[in-house]
Amino acid sequence: MNPRPPVPNAAGAAALVVVLGLLLSTTLATLTVARSQLGESRASAQEQLSAHLARRAESLWQRASVRLRAPAPLAWQATDQGLVSESTLSGEDGIAAHIRYRRAAPDSPVVALETRTHFVDGPPGEARIRQTLRLLSSLSPRGENAPPLVLNGCLTAGTPVDIRPRDSDSDNAGAALWQYGAGRCAPMAMLDTHGGEIRRLSFDTDTDTDADADADADAGAGSDMETGLWGQLFSLSREAYAELAAGELALAAGRRRHWLAQTRAGDVWRRSLGSAAAPVVLVFPDGCPRFGAGVRIVGVVYIAGGCQAPPGTLTLEVIGTLAVDGKLRTGDAGLRLSHIQQIDPAAVRLRLPVLRTVAIPGSWRDF
């Protein structure tokens, strides 16, 4: 009689199934965790690479923005998107970089600057930085668009004051005079504006009427530290302007663009300054001088304290802007004031050197 084969232990079989199930679950969990860690590692590496590209693009943008203030001009090419200046750099840490400047017109003070970076031989992807800049000189955006005469007070004249504003040879002449804080002034019967209007303003009202002044709110009408007429016209404080003018003393007279006249009221100023290609800013901080015969200034003449006495006996010619922070009494002195366009029809503003750039809100830095 053959023996009966042993019957499997049901409990043991069940335990084996449980162990195998747990082993399979652990393996799957381990694989899932490993896959997740691998994905996280790849994502982290990609983030580091992207951050590296972004840092390089931002650093390049900072250096490229300084290039706008360099004496040597950029080489601009006309395109269907406006004027463009582009350059490409490669090889630094295996990163290729592209710089692109764009402006709507040759005289536009607003420049769009973009930098783009990517790896030469590496993972795909790129970093892109865009920012729009407002170019500033010693003048504020408002000062760049000032009319031929700006007063913080009244004007009295014994002989005609001849003012030729922008487009005075057409039916659309621009403003001839901005008059602040005038109060009660006698009518200006001796003023010939050649069709240009007189705008009576106060320092707490907006004077922006020219299209090129629309960035005032972004760049600031003037220095945050200054008020009054200076704050309307200049982007630098008086102290900063004095340092700027002092720094140019070592230059030849023909290369100096910013002048601070150390004269007292009544002293005679005999030097003609500036040209259409290189206008100047001439500041008289201690009152109104007397101007010698035939003096001709191309640029901005700013006189602090007003002119209680006539500024000369013969004709003074200013092509640009004469700004007097007070009353202006011309007496029998001839005064001929013209917009810069009168000399150079292609010019629409005083082309002073760019001293700094101000970022216009609405770009990547605000998000």
Whole-number average pLDDT of the chain: 82
Most confidently modeled range among 56-60, 241-245, 250-254, 363-367: 241-245
Q: Given the DSSP bridges, would you call strands 296-304 and 161-164 parallel, antiparallel or unpaired?
A: unpaired
Give the percent of the chain with pLDDT over 70: 80
Examine the pLDDT at 289 and tell me if it is beyond 50: yes
Q: What angle do CA 300, 301, 307 make, to 5 degrees?
A: 150
Contacts of 152 (CB under 8 A, 6+ apart): 180, 181, 228, 229, 306, 324, 325, 326
Q: What confidence tens digit (pLDDT) does each residue in 36-74 have?
A: 656 555 556 677 777 888 888 888 999 999 998 887 888
What pLDDT score was predicted for residue 324? 94
Lookup: tokens for 152? 């913080």
What pLDDT score was predicted for residue 37? 59
Task: Please report the beta strands in the chain, taking only residues with DSSP state E, as ranges in sequence order.
Answer: 77-79, 82-92, 95-103, 110-119, 127-136, 149-151, 155-157, 161-164, 177-180, 191-192, 198-201, 258-260, 268-269, 280-284, 290-291, 296-304, 316-325, 328-331, 335-338, 356-359
Q: What confidence tens digit (pLDDT) does each residue in 188-201 have?
A: 878 899 999 999 88
What pLDDT score was predicted for residue 300? 97
Nearest Cα neighbor of 290 from 242, 332, 253, 326 is 332
3-state secondary structure of 101: strand
pTM for the model stands at: 0.78
Examine the pLDDT at 91 and tell me if it is beyond 90: no
What pLDDT score was predicted for residue 218? 43
What pLDDT score was predicted for residue 217? 40
Question: Among 215-224, 314-323, 332-341, where is mean pLDDT lowest?
Answer: 215-224
Residue identified by tokens 């000032």 is 146
Q: What angle do CA 146, 225, 249 make, to 5 degrees?
A: 70
